[in-house]
């Protein structure tokens, strides 16, 4: 996206614009090579069997998110509710920050939305935070808002407390289920 936008903005000669278009397809070519490689089945096995993750499975993902919402709203299990509240909060923040960047930085926003979609529709509602927090839109949005001292200090304190709570829940084996 960015290469094509830059080529158009600089009014590159036709040959260079075509080269930019070809280079912009490099991630898809890399995905295709990996998809056809001998490494993919081993990776797929680990993802499927140990992590329960798949590539863009809408139905199972929707069922997992429905179950997660039920656990959040009706389970009565405090640690489980807290865990899924954090998952839903991060999903919401990730989606909002990506959409907020669409006008200013469309390349970053589109990449972040792709990460969001692949993660959200991977078949499981658990452990979304490790995927969502890697989205570039999260970092850029926080950096932009973090220019204000009050937000910066508040976010830092909240993040440290959040990290401590997650570490405690994990170490006490109360983070899911």
Give the pLDDT mean for 57-63: 76
Alpha-carbon distance 172 to 17, whole Å? 56
Please give the mean pLDDT across all residues of the chain: 77
The model's pLDDT over 41-54, given as tens digits with 9 standing for 90+, comes to 777 777 777 666 66
Q: Is 55 left (phi over 0), alpha (psi -120 to 50) or beta?
A: beta
- Model's pTM, two decimal places? 0.62
Q: Is 77 left (phi over 0), alpha (psi -120 to 50) or beta?
A: beta
The model's pLDDT over 111-133, given as tens digits with 9 standing for 90+, comes to 888 888 888 787 777 777 777 87
């Amino acid at each position: 996206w960015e290469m094509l936008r830059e080529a158009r903005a600089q009014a590159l000669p036709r040959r260079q614009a075509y080269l930019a278009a070809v280079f912009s397809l490099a991630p898809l070519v890399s995905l295709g090579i990996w998809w056809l490689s001998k490494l993919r089945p081993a990776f797929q096995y680990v993802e499927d069997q140990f992590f329960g993750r798949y590539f863009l499975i809408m139905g199972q993902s929707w069922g997992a998110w429905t179950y997660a919402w039920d656990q959040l709203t009706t389970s009565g299990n405090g640690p489980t509710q807290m865990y899924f509240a954090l998952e839903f909060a991060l999903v919401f923040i990730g989606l909002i920050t990506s959409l907020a960047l669409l006008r200013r930085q469309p390349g970053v926003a589109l990449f972040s939305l792709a990460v969001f979609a692949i993660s959200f529709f991977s078949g499981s509602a658990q452990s979304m935070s490790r995927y969502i927090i890697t989205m570039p839109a999260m970092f850029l949005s926080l950096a932009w808002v973090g220019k204000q001292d009050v937000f910066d200090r508040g976010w830092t304190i909240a993040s440290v407390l959040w990290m401590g709570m997650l570490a405690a829940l994990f170490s006490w084996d109360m983070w899911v289920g």
